[in-house]
């Protein structure tokens, strides 16, 4: 089982590597589902572990304008030059269908630069999961991150099993959201290829004037899940 840890710091990369994770999804702003990380952070983490960087320059929905796509194309270039091995993104239409044209433009840029591509949990907002999966496969994504269109992957395990069956091995299916040592093995038995999970505790700093939450890596969670698959 491939383990991917979602992190937002160099310390998180060190902990993920220490306990045998294959790769990390590197983000900023985990409190809003993750945004594109800084170039310096990507570079530092890539020296420690395989980095797949979030490609999402703003919070909110996954409907992007032509200008947004231009920004994302620039970010792909910078992320590749900084040592990322892959990027994580997903574009939807206003009707929550897979935006084929926008995704295709971004995938071409990524593949030209030798990057792997993950369609992230924008999938969980999409209509008609079977058709959405087909479009994602046809576009050439390497993997799909999903919670089975639920808030937590364990609650979406039925759809996750279906996705594994429908995919026929043409794409890596990775379960994420709410993954822990208590449910990781049950999710693994759904036939998925990889597990994705965050591993941190949040500390609201005093007198931050609304500047957010500092995350602290949680080695015990990573170790407890990793030990299940040794």
pLDDT 10s digits, 129-167:
999 999 999 999 999 999 999 999 999 999 999 999 999
Domain count, the chain: 1
| Best CA proximity match to 89, nearest among 103, 99, 73 | 103
Distance (Å, rounded) from C-alpha 59 to C-alpha 29?
A: 9
Confidence of residue 208 (pLDDT cuts 50, 70, 90): low
How far does Cα 112 stand from its chain's mean position? 21
The SS3 assignment for 214 reads strand
Confidence of residue 211 (pLDDT cuts 50, 70, 90): confident
Structure token digits, residue 111: 């593949």
Confidence of residue 205 (pLDDT cuts 50, 70, 90): low
Q: In angstroms, what CA-CA distances link 195 with 75, 190, 222?
A: 26, 11, 11
b/e per residue 93-120 (b: at least 16 CB within 10 A): beebebbeebbebbbebbeeeebbbbbb
**Do 82 and 45 contact (CB within 8 A), yes or no?**
no
Task: Provide the pLDDT for residue 206.
Answer: 52
Give pLDDT tens digits for 76-103. 999 999 999 999 999 999 999 999 999 9
Where is average pLDDT lowest: 54-63, 94-103, 215-224? 215-224
Q: Which helix (H) or strand (E) holds 14?
A: helix 10-18
* Helix intervals (H) in 82-127: 100-112
**Do 204 and 213 contact (CB within 8 A), yes or no?**
yes
* Helix intervals (H) in 19-170: 39-46, 66-81, 100-112, 129-139, 157-167
Give the residue numbers spanning the domain of 33. Answer: 2-228
Q: What is the CATH number of the domain that holds 86?
A: 3.20.20.380
Distance (Å, rounded) from C-alpha 149 to C-alpha 122?
A: 9
| Secondary structure E strands in the chain | 2-7, 23-26, 50-54, 86-89, 116-119, 143-146, 172-176, 194-198, 200-204, 213-217
């Amino acid at each position: 089982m491939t383990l991917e840890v979602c992190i937002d710091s160099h310390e998180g990369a060190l902990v993920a590597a220490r306990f045998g994770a294959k790769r990390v999804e590197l983000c900023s702003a985990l409190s809003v589902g993750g945004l594109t990380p800084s170039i310096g952070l990507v570079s530092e983490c890539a020296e420690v572990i395989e980095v797949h960087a979030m490609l999402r320059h703003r919070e909110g929905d996954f409907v992007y304008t032509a200008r947004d796509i231009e920004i994302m194309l620039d970010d792909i270039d910078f992320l590749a030059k900084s040592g990322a091995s892959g990027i994580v993104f997903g574009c939807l239409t206003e009707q929550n269908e897979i935006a084929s044209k926008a995704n295709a433009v971004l995938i071409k840029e990524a593949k030209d630069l030798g990057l792997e591509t993950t369609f992230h949990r924008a999938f969980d907002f999409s209509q008609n999961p079977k058709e959405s999966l087909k479009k994602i496969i046809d576009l050439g994504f390497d993997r799909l991150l999903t919670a089975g269109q639920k808030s937590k992957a364990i609650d979406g395990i039925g759809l996750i099993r279906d996705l594994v069956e429908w995919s026929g091995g043409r794409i890596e299916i990775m379960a994420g959201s709410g993954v822990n040592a208590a449910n990781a093995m049950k999710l693994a038995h759904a036939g998925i290829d990889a597990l994705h999970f965050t591993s941190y505790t949040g500390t609201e700093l005093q007198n931050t004037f609304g500047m957010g939450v500092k995350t602290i890596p949680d080695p015990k969670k990573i170790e407890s899940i990793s030990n299940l698959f040794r």
